[in-house]
Amino acid sequence: MMPYKDNFIFADDLISQLNPIIKNLNNPYIETKFTGFLIVSSVTVLEMALKNIFIDFAKMKHIILGNFCDVYFNKIHGKIRLEDIKGDYLNKFGKIYKNDFISKLETLQENELLTNRISITDSYTNLITWRNDFVHQFKISNATFQDTIFAYECGKKIMDCLSDCLQ
């Protein structure tokens, strides 16, 4: 399995390629389509990162647990909400990991609120909502391309937080 951060390469490259185009684009319709593509791509790479984090952790603990998690997490398809992470996945590994994640996430949230005046958890939740709206209803949210980049960066920080807790 590759390191979880390697999953970010696709969306990071997409952002670096599309950002200059979007900044010079004077067509809201096309910008919305690119934003939808970025939303779906961002959530996909965050899901892949989440899977890598849990599977790598499980394999580090025991080969059989790793094999089980490999099968289990390859069936989750889009279930990466914070409620899923805290209420389902981390519960399976024990309260110590769940509590550590909640504590570190609260600290991260406080720091982001002070620094950027934006909720990292709300931004992450919005990204997943935007993705679901786009994929299931082809509904384009009011999110801009820049909003999506920010929410994706918040998601990466949440994955880093999760990884830190599963060491």
The pair of structure tokens assigned to 74 is 């390859």
Structure confidence at residue 142 (pLDDT): 84
> SS3 for 78?
coil
Residue with tokens 């060491």: 167
Structure confidence at residue 116 (pLDDT): 85
Question: How many whole angstroms separate alpha carbon 109 and alpha carbon 130?
Answer: 21
Structure confidence at residue 146 (pLDDT): 95
Assign 1 a pLDDT band (cuts: 50, 70, 90): low
Closest CA to 76 of 104, 43, 102: 43
Average pLDDT, the chain: 94
Q: Are 5 and 50 in contact (CB under 8 A)?
A: no
User: Within the chain, how many helices (H) and strands (E) appear?
Assistant: 8, 0
One-letter amino acid at 24 equals: N
Question: How many whole angstroms separate alpha carbon 8 and alpha carbon 135?
Answer: 20
Q: Are 121 and 128 in contact (CB under 8 A)?
A: no
Residue with tokens 């958890």: 121
- Quote the strand ranges of 20-137, DSSP E: none
- Quote the strand ranges of 2-150, DSSP E: none
Instruction: Give the pLDDT confidence of 132-148 residue by residue, as tens digits.
Output: 999 888 787 789 999 99
Average pLDDT over residues 77-94: 93
Question: How many whole angstroms separate alpha carbon 78 and alpha carbon 34?
Answer: 20
pTM comes to 0.94
Residue with tokens 């509904």: 139
